[in-house]
Amino acid sequence: MIQPKVPILKLKNCLIISIQWELDDATALQFQQDVLKKIHETNARGVVIDLTALDFIDSFIARILDEVIQMAGMMGAKVALTGIQPPIAITLVELGIELSDVLTALDLESGLDRLQQELEG
Amino acid sequence: MDVSSVSILTEWDIVAARQMGRSEAKTIGFGAVDQARITTAISELARNIYLYAEQGSVTIGRFEKDGKVGIRVIAEDQGPGIGDVQLVLQDGYSSSYGLGAGLPGVKRLMDEFDIQTEVGEGTKITIVKWLS
């Protein structure tokens, strides 16, 4: 069973990532490496990760995302998470998982806007 | 009573267990939030088996008691067992590896939580979510 990689697009100085299917552990770890590599290659200053399609996030995926936020920060890129659905917000809080200081927005478009404001401001 | 079981041997089996859980929860009639709670709880328990016991099984099925309907998940392994159960059930407790949200998180996601464990024998965790 090999899952396809998560595609990473570049738009101006931002990377845009939409996670479209449930990630297994190996794909999630690969995703983490790919994002950092792409930040390095493109000198991106912002990263939007859209989670609209996910119907659950367990502590492993949450940890991967949290690490991406921190690692990207070390490389000078700010991360915005978008499209977190109500069931995911509820389960993450009940599980007791906290994400690092991160921009969030309801959808990809407003996430990009907020990120741009942050980068310009 | 209808139950399905997944052996947990590789990390792929974690995916299989939660997919089975999600589909069973949907069939029983749980809404999106409870489906997410159940799927997440199964994922945490299956990952614990994979990380700490190497192998075990997750059994999922419709469950009825006292006129209530719900889903019951049993995660069982013959791993090292847990020495200090009180400690691992303490809020904020997570293993030294920092993986997993730990058992208190799983307990909060579900309505019932039972753990039986013996050092050197293994661990059996039973969780139930009622359809309300």
- The answer as to whether A112 is a domain residue is yes
pTM for this predicted structure: 0.92
Spatial distance between the Cα atoms of B42 and B47, rounded to a whole number of angstroms:
8
Residue A58 in any domain: the answer is: yes
| B15 closest CB neighbour out of A24, A85, A88 | A24
What pLDDT digit, counting tens, does each position of B70-106 carry? 999 999 999 999 888 888 888 766 654 444 568 989 9
* Range name among A4-18, A106-120, B91-105, B109-123 with the lowest pLDDT average: B91-105
A31 within domain boundaries: yes
Substitution target in A56, A90, A93 with the highest count of B β-carbons within 10 Å is: A56
A25 touches chain B (CB under 8 A): yes
Cβ of A56 within 8 Å of Cβ of B91? The answer is: no
* Cβ atoms of A111 and A50 closer than 8 Å: yes
Tens digits of per-residue pLDDT, B21-42?
Answer: 999 999 999 999 999 999 999 9
**Residue A26, in any domain of the structure:** yes
A3 inside domain: no
Q: Domain total for chain A?
A: 1
Domain that holds residue A86: 8-120
Q: Domains in chain B, start-ordered, CATH in brackets?
A: 3-130 (3.30.565.10)
Residue A115 located in a structural domain: yes
CATH number of the domain within which A39 lies: 3.30.750.24
Nearest to B33 among A1, A62, A86 (CB): A86
* Burial (Cβ within 10 Å: 0-12, 13-18, ≥19) of residue B101: buried
Residue-wise pLDDT for B53-78, tens only, equals 989 999 999 999 999 999 999 999 99
Q: Is the pLDDT of residue B5 over 50?
A: yes
Residues B79 and B122 sit within 8 Å (Cβ to Cβ)? yes
Residue A2 lies in a domain: no
User: Is residue A1 in some structural domain?
Assistant: no
Distance of CA B1 to the CA centre of its chain: 19
Concatenating the DSSP letter of every residue in A67-121 gives HHHHHHHHTT-EEEEE---HHHHHHHHHHT----S-EEESSHHHHHHHHHHHHH-
Please give the residue of chain A at the shortest CA–CA distance from B99: A60
Copy the structure tokens of residue A33.
């490496």
Pick from B12, B98, B105: CB nearest A95: B105
Count how many residues are written for chain A: 121
